[in-house]
Amino acid sequence: MRKQRINKHPDVNPTQVALREQQQRAIRNKGWMYGFLLLAGVIVFFGIRYMVANRK
């Protein structure tokens, strides 16, 4: 019974779970950073285009 439970759930190891949570958190933070940079880049790009269009 005990062996079956361990085989069914190999992620019971707390260090592995903690490592996986840390990795997911790092990926999420990186995703937020990239999303913010992308948004800022799009805003700047359209702002410059708008200024150039108004200058003509």
Query: Each residue of 6-49: pLDDT tens digit?
Result: 556 555 677 888 888 988 888 888 888 899 999 999 999 999 99
Spatial CB neighbours of 6, under 8 Å, sequence gap ≥ 6: 12
Residue 33 lies in a domain: yes
Residue 30 lies in a domain: yes
Residue 44 lies in a domain: yes
Q: Are 33 and 27 in contact (CB under 8 A)?
A: no
Domain span at 25: 14-55
Q: Give residue 16's Cα distance to chain centre.
A: 20
Residue 21 lies in a domain: yes
Residue 29 lies in a domain: yes
pLDDT at 13: 73
The pTM of the full predicted model, rounded to 2 decimals, is 0.46
d(CA 25, CA 32): 11
Determine the 3-state secondary structure of 27 from DSSP. helix
Number of domains in the chain: 1
